[in-house]
Chain A
Amino acid sequence: MLEFLSLRDGGEAAELPAVTLEAFSGQSNSTAVRIEPGEDARELLPHLDRVALVEVNFPVFGDGRGYSAARILREAGYAGELRAVGDVAVDQISHMVRCGFDSFRPDKPLDPALVEAAFTRFPGVYQKTVDPRAPIWAQRHGADHG
């Protein structure tokens, strides 16, 4: 069972102590920050050059604000580690990857066989997001779109 899953090259966990968004904004020596559902990921944008790890917390899986937070960070060019933590189950991880997450530390360990199935199940995607997958409409109309 997987207590930690990383899709980044090397797959190692960046074990940096993540601080709150408020603490991060006020101090300059931290490189890891944790975003809670009600917090505005855009507050991080001026500081992205010194961030190595962003943890996005999902206290309950049904609170989907973290998906927007992740996508906003990737759209702004953030290339560091983006980790989903908390109530994260195998049924959410493929959508999370499409929103830019590249590592997971779930409250409950993940079954590797189900993780494999989750990432390979769907042959296509209908939307362009921040992952490299070409949406179905782009495949229909050739490589010049998407």
Chain B
Amino acid sequence: MYQYDTYDQAMVDARVAEFRDQTQRRLDGQLSEAQFRPLRLMNGLYLQLHAYMLRVAVPYGTLSSKQMHMLAHIARQYDRDYGHFTTRQNIQYNWIKLADAPDILADLASVEMHAIQTSGNCIRNISSDQFAGVSADEIADPRPLAELLRQWSSFHPEFTYLPRKFKIAVIASQEDRAAMRLHDIGIELVKKDGEIGARVFVGGGMGRTPMVAPEIRAFVPFAEVVSYLEACLRVYNRHGRRDNKYKARIKILVHEMGREEYTRQVEEEFAHMKTLGLDPPLAELERIAAHFAPPPYETGLSDEIDLSDRDFAAWVSTQVKPHKVPGYAIVNISLKPIGGIPGDASSAQMDLMADLAEKYSFDELRVTHAQNIVLAHVKKADLYALWKALEEADLGTANLDLISDIIACPGLDYCSLANARSIPVAQKIAERFSDLGRQKELGELKLKISGCINACGHHHAGNIGILGVDRKGVENYQLLLGGSGAEDVSLGQITGPGFDENGIVDAVEKATNVYLANRTEGERFVDTFRRIGMAPFKEALYA
């Protein structure tokens, strides 16, 4: 994985020093909260319902064991012994004291980490495919470009006060594990005449006006990607709406201006940008790519796995995915134990995952946008020992992509924007479907919960989505069906009137019953929904 050189380290160290000064000015009273707010937000520090929340960047979701140990240390030392992995592949801490924040950033900098641009109206953490580098169907590893863009977007002087936050994802496979087209800019690496470049989608997003990003360019050569993105961002910075924060994302600009006109303006700006020498040489991308060279895999390993232990076999069948190298497998660690809080991990669990990564997976972990953890290079011969260790730490849940593998935002338990609680609803649904056999019978079923219209829990992209709203002071939950954040991207449709907290759990169960009664051989929930439409579901829900 990428390692800082002295330039990168100096930049992060400078940021720590700057934030230490700013925090001191705030604590001394030289800065008011109003003046301090934009400064802390540039460093991922939010003031939430009960305390400060700190969001730490995990670029494209990749961590070393040492970094994961540091995340555990921060949870133990400065928070309440746990952290929450997010849908942007980051981690956030919910109980931070302002006076500790500079020390936390210094601790992070000591392991090449930071919280730069994890909030604010700027380019946020670049996300990517958690199977990057190990899935057989990828064109190239997407992480070198993601790292190049991390550096380009860090402290970008023109694009720090955009109309609204800006999210970029980079993938390189047909299979989309990063919800690429639901980003402000989605990049898919593609090959044209033997050359690798970027296919660019602009104007996707969730929030209160969900949109799937249209393609605006089929191919941008690697050597011009920075110029092209500068053009995309400049058109947005100049013309994106600033009169209403709910209409300020680039998706609204592309929608109101029209894809053709937006594309035309980007092309015009791009033609100009290309002449300015803004693009790093390809040697820079190659320098970064060298950090992502495959680890020293052993050869001649067996692909046999002894599945005589039935619980182990059940875990393997959901959590283990094919690796491109014989004898190795990709392991998905569920952070969704039945009744737990989706995405939360204790410091002890983080330390254990770090140790297991060091022992079994070349010292590397990935955070997924579905709030799970991946060990990407595990020898098949080591799977049993790994599973045993995970089981002991309550990390052995076998529910990847099943109904209890729920994405949920923090909701009204933590978040100052939320209208309703998300976590208790997730817990109740998981408990209702706690029987693993029943979950497997339902098959792939992605359920996503947001506690407000901002859609941090990706409810629009859930096969089953739940949106918490406030109805006259009472929490109310709307049900959506048919969304997908994958390569078959689609937006969920609202079924009708909402439900109360217990009613929504019943409603989810009824929807699954309609699916079971109507599915044909091999159909997933979302396939059946697409084939039979909303009517049979409505009938069952509102009869």
B100 within 8 A of A: no
Interface of B: prevailing SS = helix
**Measured between C-beta atoms, what is the minimum distance from B40 to chain A in Å?**
11
Nearest residue, chain A, Cβ from B235:
A68
A124 within 8 A of B: yes
Q: Are A122 and B157 in contact (CB under 8 A)?
A: no
What A residues does B237 contact at CB under 8 A?
64-65, 67-68
Nearest residue, chain B, Cβ from A123:
B10
- Which bracket fits the contact residues of B? 35 or more
Residues facing B in A100-119 (CB within 8 A) are 117
State A139–B10 Cα separation when bound (angstroms). Answer: 14
- With A96-B157, A123-B11 known as contacts, the answer to whether A145 contacts B280 (CB < 8 A) is yes
B284 within 8 A of A: yes
Q: Count contacts on A: residues with CB < 8 A to the other chain.
A: 38
What B residues does A34 contact at CB under 8 A?
none
Q: How many A-B Cβ pairs are below 8 Å?
A: 101
Q: Are B161 and A67 in contact (CB under 8 A)?
A: yes
Chain A proximity mask over B487-522: 1 for CB below 8 Å, otherwise 0: 000000000000000000000000000000000000
Q: Are A129 and B155 in contact (CB under 8 A)?
A: no
B238 within 8 A of A: yes
- The stretch from B270-278, B292-300, B335-343, B430-438 touching chain A is B270-278
Q: Are B284 and A61 in contact (CB under 8 A)?
A: no
Q: Which residue in B22, B157, B277 is a CB contact (below 8 Å) of A99? A: B157
**Measured between C-beta atoms, what is the minimum distance from B26 to chain A in Å?**
12
**Measured between C-beta atoms, what is the minimum distance from B542 to chain A in Å?**
44
What B residues does A61 contact at CB under 8 A?
38, 161
Residues facing A in B1-39 (CB within 8 A) are 5, 7-8, 10-11, 14-15, 17-18, 21-22, 35, 38-39
Q: Which residue in B154, B155, B161 is a CB contact (below 8 Å) of A63? A: B161
Chain A proximity mask over B236-275: 1 for CB below 8 Å, otherwise 0: 0110001000000000000000000000000000001000
Q: Are A64 and B10 in contact (CB under 8 A)?
A: no
Q: Which residue in A65, A94, A129, A140 is a CB contact (below 8 Å) of B7? A: A140
B156 within 8 A of A: yes
A22 within 8 A of B: no
Q: Are B158 and A99 in contact (CB under 8 A)?
A: yes
Q: Are B155 and A122 in contact (CB under 8 A)?
A: yes
State A64–B22 Cα separation when bound (angstroms). Answer: 21
What A residues does B161 contact at CB under 8 A?
61-64, 67
B48 within 8 A of A: no
Q: Which residue in B151, B158, B242, B281 is a CB contact (below 8 Å) of A145? A: B281
**Measured between C-beta atoms, what is the minimum distance from A111 to chain B in Å?**
9
A14 within 8 A of B: no
**Measured between C-beta atoms, what is the minimum distance from A122 to chain B in Å?**
5
Q: Are A127 and B238 in contact (CB under 8 A)?
A: no
What A residues does B18 contact at CB under 8 A?
121-122
B234 within 8 A of A: yes
Nearest residue, chain A, Cβ from B234:
A68
State A95–B159 Cα separation when bound (angstroms). Answer: 10
Q: Are B278 and A91 in contact (CB under 8 A)?
A: no
- With A64-B237, A65-B237, A141-B283 known as contacts, the answer to whether A124 contacts B158 (CB < 8 A) is no
**Measured between C-beta atoms, what is the minimum distance from A121 to chain B in Å?**
5
Residues facing B in A53-85 (CB within 8 A) are 61-65, 67-69, 71, 75
Q: Are B242 and A63 in contact (CB under 8 A)?
A: yes
Q: Are B284 and A68 in contact (CB under 8 A)?
A: no
A23 within 8 A of B: no
Chain B proximity mask over A117-136: 1 for CB below 8 Å, otherwise 0: 10001111111110000011
**Measured between C-beta atoms, what is the minimum distance from B151 to chain A in Å?**
5
**Measured between C-beta atoms, what is the minimum distance from B245 to chain A in Å?**
10
**Measured between C-beta atoms, what is the minimum distance from B486 to chain A in Å?**
32
What B residues does A71 contact at CB under 8 A?
158
Q: Are A140 and B14 in contact (CB under 8 A)?
A: no
What B residues does A68 contact at CB under 8 A?
158, 234, 237-238
- With A64-B162, A121-B17 known as contacts, the answer to whether A128 contacts B276 (CB < 8 A) is yes
Q: Are A91 and B158 in contact (CB under 8 A)?
A: no
Nearest residue, chain B, Cβ from A124:
B7
What A residues does B121 contact at CB under 8 A?
62, 64
State A129–B278 Cα separation when bound (angstroms). Answer: 7
Q: Are B277 and A128 in contact (CB under 8 A)?
A: yes
What B residues does A141 contact at CB under 8 A?
280-281, 283-284, 287
What B residues does A91 contact at CB under 8 A?
22, 38-39
Nearest residue, chain B, Cβ from A135:
B280
State A51–B8 Cα separation when bound (angstroms). Answer: 40
**Measured between C-beta atoms, what is the minimum distance from B350 to chain A in Å?**
30
- With A137-B280, A141-B283, A145-B281 known as contacts, the answer to whether A127 contacts B157 (CB < 8 A) is yes
Contacts A127-B156, A139-B7 given; 17 further ones with Cβ under 8 A?
A63-B242, A67-B158, A67-B159, A68-B234, A68-B237, A75-B272, A121-B14, A122-B15, A123-B7, A126-B151, A127-B278, A128-B277, A128-B278, A129-B157, A136-B11, A140-B284, A141-B284
5 pairs of A and B residues whose beta carbons are closest in the complex: A64-B161, A98-B157, A95-B157, A137-B280, A136-B7
- Pairs A–B under 8 Å by Cβ, sample size 23: A40-B238, A61-B161, A62-B38, A63-B242, A64-B159, A67-B157, A67-B237, A68-B234, A91-B38, A91-B39, A95-B158, A98-B157, A121-B14, A123-B14, A124-B11, A126-B155, A128-B276, A128-B278, A136-B151, A137-B151, A138-B280, A141-B280, A145-B280
